[in-house]
Amino acid sequence: MSKRIFALLVAAAGLFALPAQAQAPARSPARADCLRLGQVDSFSAIRGNDRAFIVTDKLHRRFKISLMYRCPGVEYNLGVGFKTLETGRLACISRGDTVFARDVTRVGGRCPISSVEPYTPAMEAADKAAAGARH
């Protein structure tokens, strides 16, 4: 009798897990344009932009990380860290993940990510033009 109850509990747990899995955001770890958590090498600010910055991975690919809202001091940060919704070093950094910013003026900020995309030369030129127009 106890084996039957255990089997029913396992089956019930499986039924309750299905809706949660269906609501989880689709992420593809096999994407070639993915910035992997364990591959982050360096970062740099975009002059005049406190809602985005550039991350270079260990394969020397550059990605623009845009934030959901203004993240004070992101231009002057001494370092950043990431908290992903996925686990493991091969997790892709993507929308909904969090940037932890460290700087000398505050303990640190948590800034949600709105997008991560490969940083193209055209994007770089547009960022430089926008920075020149602001200053």
Closest-CA residue to 113 (of 96, 135, 132): 96
| Weakly modelled stretches of the chain, pLDDT under 50 | 1-29
pTM comes to 0.71
What is the Cα–Cα distance from 111 to 121, expressed in whole angstroms?
Answer: 25
Phi, psi of 80 (to 5 degrees): -135, 155
Q: What is the reported pLDDT for 6?
A: 37
Q: What is the reported pLDDT for 59?
A: 95
